[in-house]
Every structure is written in C-alpha cells, then in structure tokens.
C-alpha cells in the first residue's frame, strides 16, 4: 500500500519530469539537478490514514545554464508544477552530464593533447579524467562566478588497469560547465614521472587463491521480517525505509513495540553530509575537498547489490529510481538490501547453581553502497533486540593518488609504491537525527561522570557521580566528545515518565570521531564549518536539512548549521534534531593499496530509562542443541 513517505517511484519521476518539460523548466540548457520527495509535515502525516488520497509532492532543483540560475519547483505528482522560485547566487550539485561534457571538452583540447604528448602520451583514450568541484581557492584569473570543475587525470596503460596506480602529476584543466569551455590548462612542467607499478586487484589479475570452505547462511523458514512496500516489521521494530537522491538511504518513523504499545523513537534519520578534506598541498589533493553528498548527490551513485557478494543470507531488496539531468529516469535494481545477521551473544549469565541462560543476538540490517569515483561508501543501519540502533559507514574502494619523486620526503602523504603517493585525508560525516522519543516535545541533556569532592562524600577517593547539564539553547549544544568524562548526550521526553518517574530517553553514543585538521579560516574550513563540533542540535525546521547548507557547490561558506544556530533558539521541549559529526582520519597504509579493506565509523543510539528493563530479556533461548 502506498504511503506519503514512500520514495518517488519511476512512474512518479517520469510524471514529474513531464510536468517540468511542459512548464518549459526542463529543456535545452535548463537541466534537472535533483528530484526529491517533498516529504509531508509531521502534522500532515499524523492526520493521514491508510487509504486516504495521497497528494504527493516532488521538489525539483533545476539549473538554468543560460541564465546561470537555480530554480526550485514544487511539482504535484500527476498534477503539474505548483510553485517555482528562483534561488540566485548559488550553484546546484554537479551533474553526471556536466562531468561527461567537461571530460569531452578536455579530451578535445589541443593544449592538453600537447601537454600529454610532452609526457609521452599520444593516445588520449588512455587518459582517465575526473571532474571535481573546487575545495580550495579558484586560481586568480578564473571567474569564480562561473560554475567550474577542475580535472585531475590518470593513465590507463591497459584497458583493465587500475588507473589510480598511474597519476599524471602536474597537469590539470579547469572547465566552465555551462559553456563547456576549457578555461585553463595548468601544466607544472617539470613534474614527477607517472608511477608505473600496476595496482592489480581484479580476480583475473591477482592469484585470488586463498580459499575457505563454504559458509552458508540458511534460514529454511525465511527471514524473520516482513516488508509491505517500504514498511518493515522485524521483531518488535517497525520502520519505513526511504531513499533520497542526495542523501541515499533514509530511515523513517522508527518504532519499538513495548508491551503491545508502539513507541516512537525517530521520525527521520539520514546522513545529511559527507565531506572529505585532504591534507596534502599538492594541487591534486588540496583542491579535492569534495562534499560527496551536497556537491555530488551520492544517492545517484547507489550500486545494484549482488546476492552472495554484497549481502549474504535471506535477502530482501528494494529498487530505487533516480532522474538524471535531462529528466531521464533510471531504476537502480536491488539498491537497498535488508537481511538479518547473527551478532554473537546478546546476553549470558551462569548463576551460583550452575544454571545457564544465554541468548543469541540477531540484528536487522538495512544497507546500501555508493561509488563516488575512487571511493565506496556503505551505509549500514542495524536494529538490535535490546532496543539499540547502530549506524555504521563502511569505507572501501581506492585511495586518491598523486605522484611524487620516488623516495623523497612527503610530509602529508604515504608513498605506497615507488613514486605513488596517497595523500592524508579525513572522511567527515554528519548525521541528521530527527529523534522523536515517545513523540515530541523533547529536550537535550549532556551527561558526564566526575569524581565526588574529597571529604565525607568521597572518603576513599574512589567515589564518582554523574552530572547532567541541560543544553537549553543552540549555543549550548555545540559540543565535542570527551573520553575523560565519558560524556554522552541524551534526548529526553519528560512526559510520559519512565517506570520510576524519570524522563524516558535515548542516548547518542559516539563511536569513531575525528577532528578536522583544516584551519577554520581555510576554504574548506569555512565551507564545512559544521565539522568543528561533534554535536549540534536545532529545533526541527523543514528547510534546515543540510549542515553545510543546501547549495555547498563553490559556496564561500558560513551556510547551514553555523548560520541557523546563530539565532540561538531554545531547545527545551521542542521538536529536536541532533546533528552528529563523526568519521575517520585516514593516514594511508601500504595495506590500503590497491583496494582498501573496509574501515568503519559510526555511532549508536541506546535507550536510557525508556524501557522498564532490558527488552532483550524477552528474547527466546536458541532452539535446538544449545545446552
Ligand atoms: Ni580514506
């Protein structure tokens, strides 16, 4: 059955694109940057009942290349364009079509062809060119009012070569995306040679002969979850899966059935931004400071997943649909994977009589994987039988490479093969967590552990307590992790009360975090200012969706969280949104080459006084031969 939060289907996208064409908004140099579901308000959702008519709205972000203008159109699915407004002075995320056109222009450029010839490359088809947004200053003489990309390049000596083994150093172009004009060919001249040690990783290039015996996941009775459209029911969890062209995988309306009563935990959870600041001064790294979500709309690059490879066991897949720059709709089959995993033991105790109770932990997994040029990002959400929720990003793929003089010191990169450098960089994620703990309103507390003052309260010097601080306003709620006080944050609902009269809550448990190495005054520091706190909180506003603002492309900075929170709004008893910044600092190892094994980063949400006791106590013992 259809639901207002269902992602836009292929038919709906077609229909919306047709409306945009009919209105003259999508033709010629008028391109579609993004097509998203305009999600209904919470009030509208509360009022909606299954079977009610669905007035589905789509939000189209359009780029008019002639007028150099972003337009936002609200389109009623099946009902035509309802509203159009101009958004002057900003650029949309870069389009796949833009990148294709830029690369074509570069391939035809005589200056580039000559520069390659000076490096001994006479066949342009052997050159892999990528189109990247500027994460640093646009060079003097280039008009930053134009929509630009710069293009690093790599050599592909054989058709199936790993191109990242062969960076072409000291040669880049800058392209105007609208005129498709190559504005500048930057040739540093005396550059390090192209590293020529191959980076083989395909099975037919490596021995790939380390084998284990088969491991089969058998669920003879099928999985323990049921799926109705985009609604999922597993164990005592109820939720809806969503998908967005910009953010990718989204979770909606996450609930847990407690003693027969569905209790809400989250309204909407997503990874609202992902930025990768590079720390090396080589232009090939320094300029690459991509917002993979806000500048590249990573949802478009969602993989089709393969059974037995990406996901193992009894899998249920969901297909998603996306629209490209020209309004062509494409279905990505098997884009979202749902399955169950055995996750070791949930709990165990052997008592004084020798009696043993033990429970297996089963977890529900919903995941998707995107490929953004050299990197893969897996977004994995886990639901546990004790009421916990986990998000884990899985980072894999190939490190960005530049070339250097073999053996020469490189302060900000690892030499992974002779002359092949992997620059230091960070992967910084920002989750947008619209938690509704037993609905709204909610408030935010910080909890820290601290020793009690020496004296009667702490005679032995070993007593400690917790201190709770209400983060009452947005300026209070700009916080960093602190392992020295076991700091955590909890979202509380003061009404209803927990079973002993305290507020019900979920806490955010940070996992791997990092701290930005870029100066706040740098171009990337200004543009991704959200990365200078691990936690932010705001009252929920529909138009406050992305922590670096809606249009980070070539934006000078200051948008998003820093801008909104300057109002210093109250966070007490409001519809609260948490923003959690986490990620990794990647100092590449030779073992990250030629493809890096999965690196993990993420966080957990755990109930605190939400349930009377461990909900995992009610889990049945394993059946069969466990004794
Ligand atoms: Ni990395």
The verdict on whether 546 is a catalytic residue reads: no
- Alpha carbon of 278 to ligand 1 centroid (Å): 9
Beta strands in 373-411 (DSSP E): 375-384, 389-397, 402-403
* pTM score of the predicted model: 0.97
pLDDT value of residue 626: 61
- Alpha carbon of 301 to ligand 1 centroid (Å): 18
- Alpha carbon of 279 to ligand 1 centroid (Å): 12
Q: For residues 617 and 149, give the distance between their C-alpha atoms in angstroms, rounded to a whole number.
A: 56
- DSSP single-letter state for residue 188: -
Could you read off the pLDDT of 182-233 as tens digits, one per residue?
999 999 988 999 999 999 999 999 989 999 999 999 999 999 999 999 999 9
pLDDT value of residue 156: 98
Partners of residue 583 on adjacent β-strands: 428
Burial letters for 311-330: b for 16+ Cβ neighbours within 10 Å, e otherwise?
bebbbbbbebbbbbbebebe
**CB-based burial label for 310 (10 Å; 0-12, 13-18, 19+):** middle
The arrangement of secondary structure in 96-187, i.e. its CATH architecture, is Roll (3.10)
Q: Do domains 96-187 and 236-618 have the same CATH topology?
A: no
pLDDT value of residue 87: 97
Let me know: does 561 contact 530? Beta carbons within 8 Å.
yes
Low-confidence ranges of the chain (pLDDT < 70): 1, 625-627
- Alpha carbon of 592 to ligand 1 centroid (Å): 9
Q: Look at the block and give the residue holding tokens 């080459």.
A: 593
- Alpha carbon of 323 to ligand 1 centroid (Å): 29
- Alpha carbon of 425 to ligand 1 centroid (Å): 6
Domain assignments of the chain as residue spans, ordered by start: 10-87, 96-187, 236-618
Among residues 98, 244, 278, 375, the one annotated as catalytic is 375
The verdict on whether 384 is a catalytic residue reads: no
Among residues 6, 292, 438, 592, the one annotated as catalytic is 292
- Alpha carbon of 586 to ligand 1 centroid (Å): 5
CATH superfamily for 236-618 is: Copper amine oxidase, catalytic domain (2.70.98.20)
> Does the domain formed by 10-87 have CATH 3.40.640.10?
no
């Amino acid at each position: 059955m259809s639901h207002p939060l269902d992602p836009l289907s292929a038919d709906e996208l077609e229909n919306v694109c047709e409306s945009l064409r009919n209105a003259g908004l999508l033709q010629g140099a008028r391109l579609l940057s993004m097509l998203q579901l305009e999600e209904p308000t919470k009030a509208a959702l509360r009022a909606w009942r299954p079977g009610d008519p669905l007035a589905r709205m789509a939000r189209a972000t359009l780029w008019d290349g002639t007028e150099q203008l972003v337009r936002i159109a609200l389109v009623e699915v099946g009902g035509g364009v309802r509203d159009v407004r101009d958004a002057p002075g900003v650029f949309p995320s870069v389009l796949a079509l833009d990148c294709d056109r830029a690369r074509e222009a570069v391939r035809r450029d005589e200056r580039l062809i000559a520069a390659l010839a000076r490096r001994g490359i006479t066949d342009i088809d052997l050159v892999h060119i990528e189109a990247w947004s500027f994460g640093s200053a646009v060079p003097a003489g280039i008009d930053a009012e134009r929509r630009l990309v710069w293009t690093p390049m790599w050599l592909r000596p054989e058709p199936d070569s790993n191109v990242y083994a062969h960076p072409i150093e000291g040669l880049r172009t800058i392209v105007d995306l609208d005129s498709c004009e190559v504005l500048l060919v930057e040739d540093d001249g005396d550059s390090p040679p192209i590293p020529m040690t191959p980076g083989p990783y395909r099975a037919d290039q490596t021995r790939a002969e380390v084998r284990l015996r088969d491991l089969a996941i058998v669920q003879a009775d099928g999985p323990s979850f049921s799926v109705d459209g985009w609604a999922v029911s597993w164990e005592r969890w109820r939720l809806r899966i969503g998908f967005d062209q910009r953010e990718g995988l989204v979770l909606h309306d996450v609930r847990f059935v407690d003693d027969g009563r569905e209790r809400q935990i989250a309204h909407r959870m997503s990874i609202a931004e992902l930025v990768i600041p590079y720390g090396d001064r080589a232009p090939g790294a320094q300029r690459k400071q991509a917002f993979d979500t806000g500048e590249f709309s990573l949802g478009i690059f969602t993989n089709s997943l393969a059974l037995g490879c990406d996901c193992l066991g009894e899998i249920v897949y969901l297909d998603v649909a996306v629209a490209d720059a020209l309004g062509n709709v494409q279905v990505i089959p098997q884009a979202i994977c749902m399955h169950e995993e055995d996750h070791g033991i949930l709990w165990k105790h052997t008592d004084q009589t020798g009696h043993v109770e033990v429970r297996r932990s089963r977890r529900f997994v919903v995941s998707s994987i995107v490929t953004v040029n050299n990197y893969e990002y897996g977004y994995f959400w886990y639901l546990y039988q004790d009421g916990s929720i986990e998000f884990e990003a899985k980072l894999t793929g190939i490190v960005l490479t530049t070339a250097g003089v073999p053996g020469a010191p490189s302060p900000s990169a690892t030499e992974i093969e002779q002359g092949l450098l992997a620059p230091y960089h960070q992967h910084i994620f920002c989750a947008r967590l619209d938690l509704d703990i037993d609905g709204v309103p909610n408030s935010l507390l910080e909890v820290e552990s601290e020793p009690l003052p020496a004296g009667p309260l702490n005679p032995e010097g070993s007593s400690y307590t917790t201190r709770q601080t209400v983060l009452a306003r947005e300026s209070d709620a700009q916080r960093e992790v602190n392992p020295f006080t076991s700091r955590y944050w909890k979202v509380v609902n003061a009404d209803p009360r927990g079973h002993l009269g305290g507020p019900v809550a979920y806490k955010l448990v940070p996992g791997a975090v990092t701290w930005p190495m870029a100066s706040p005054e740098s171009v990337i520091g200004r543009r991704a200012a959200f990365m200078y706190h691990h936690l932010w909180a705001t009252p929920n506003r529909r138009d406050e969706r992305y922590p670096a603002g809606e249009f980070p492309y070539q934006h000078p900075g200051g948008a998003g969280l820093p801008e909104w929170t300057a109002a210093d709004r109250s966070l007490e008893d409001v519809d609260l949104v948490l923003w959690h910044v986490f990620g990794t600092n990647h100092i590449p190892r030779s073992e990250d080459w030629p493809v890096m094994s999965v690196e993990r980063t993420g966080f957990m949400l755990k109930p605190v006084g939400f349930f009377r006791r461990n909900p995992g106590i009610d889990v049945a013992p394993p059946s069969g031969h466990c004794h």
